[in-house]
């Protein structure tokens, strides 16, 4: 889902101005020896849409995690939303209403797509969800301005697991993420069943990064608000 970001970085960078760049968080403070594991909950056409073995692993090992839920996914997973809400070391953010390509929408429809899931969480579950991640990682200046106007924090990532890619093995994903582990990492996975090796990779990271290398697992909010230093924002390409 996110591989296009590597293939065409100039496309999305060209959409942004300096003011937009300053609002988009990619990672936590470089002085903070902590990482945030994040999991997107996008709607799926086939399967349960919920990776129960992964969630059991996170709970068993007490690994803090941040989940970005789409509104359409929430509509079909009320029990799962309540279960995630009940775990004290989990936090919930939003991922758009129907997982739309935001830059293709006009201002009004972008606002509707961004705000829909936020309003649903508040109205149905009493959850305030100030963290937002755009579907597909796509955005433009309008997206950033609307997120800011709605009082949300715009969260991307600095490490992509690639867990839905059938060409990537458990060893490839875990090996790359372990080798690239840095202070303040925000890593994106999926918890909707699209991640082919997600549970196993999380177990590998727990052993090889959290335990062996001493990185503290935290939620995104903890990474941004309870660690020393400043978070890293999106940076424009030189000359753009």
Q: What is the pLDDT of residues 33-63, one digit of tens each?
A: 999 999 999 999 888 999 999 999 999 999 9
In the numeric block, the tokens 């508040």 are attached to 122
Which of 5-14, 26-35, 42-51 has the least mean pLDDT?
Answer: 5-14
Q: Are 190 and 8 in contact (CB under 8 A)?
A: no
Q: Is the pLDDT of residue 236 over 70?
A: no
pLDDT at position 10, please? 29
pLDDT at position 231, please? 78
Q: Is the pLDDT of residue 13 over 90?
A: no
pLDDT at position 94, please? 98
Q: Is the pLDDT of residue 232 over 80?
A: no
Q: Delimit the domains of the chain by residue range.
A: 4-11+22-232
What's the pLDDT band for 234 if we cut at 50, 70, 90? low
CA–CA separation, 186 vs 99, rounded Å? 21
Q: Which two tokens stand for residue 174?
A: 């875990």
pLDDT at position 201, please? 98
CA–CA separation, 85 vs 125, rounded Å? 9
SS3 157: coil
Superfamily of domain 4-11+22-232: Glycoside hydrolase/deacetylase (3.20.20.370)
Tell how far CA 48 is from the center of its chain: 20
Q: pLDDT: is 54 or 23 the higher one?
A: 54
Span 69-86, average pLDDT = 97
pLDDT at position 20, please? 53
Q: Is the pLDDT of residue 7 over 90?
A: no
Q: Are 223 and 34 in contact (CB under 8 A)?
A: yes
Q: Is the pLDDT of residue 237 over 80?
A: no
% residues pLDDT > 70 (the chain): 88
pLDDT at position 145, please? 96
Element holding 218 (H helix, E strand): strand 216-218
Span 189-205, average pLDDT = 97
């Amino acid at each position: 889902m996110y591989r296009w970001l590597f293939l065409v970085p100039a496309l999305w960078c060209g959409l942004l101005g300096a003011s937009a760049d300053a609002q988009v968080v990619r990672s936590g403070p470089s002085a903070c020896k902590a990482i945030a594991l994040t999991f997107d909950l996008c709607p799926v056409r086939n399967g349960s849409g919920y990776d129960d073995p992964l969630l059991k692993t996170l709970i068993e090992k007490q690994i803090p995690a941040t989940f970005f839920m789409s509104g359409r996914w929430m509509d079909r997973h009320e029990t799962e939303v309540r279960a995630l809400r009940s775990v004290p070391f989990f936090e919930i953010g939003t991922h758009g209403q129907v997982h739309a390509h935001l830059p293709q929408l006009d201002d009004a429809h972008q606002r509707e797509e961004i705000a829909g899931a936020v309003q649903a969480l508040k109205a149905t579950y009493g959850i305030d969800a100030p963290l937002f991640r755009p579907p597909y990682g796509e955005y433009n200046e309008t997206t950033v301005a609307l997120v800011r106007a709605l009082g949300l924090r715009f969260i991307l990532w600095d490490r992509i697991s690639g867990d839905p890619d059938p060409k990537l093995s458990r060893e490839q994903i875990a090996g790359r993420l372990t080798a690239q582990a840095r202070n303040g990492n925000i890593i994106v996975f999926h918890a909707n069943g699209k991640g082919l090796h997600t549970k196993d990779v999380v177990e590998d990271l727990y052993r090889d990064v959290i335990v062996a290398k001493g990185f503290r697992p935290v939620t995104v909010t903890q990474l941004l608000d309870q660690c020393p230093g400043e978070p890293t924002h999106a940076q424009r390409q030189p000359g753009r």
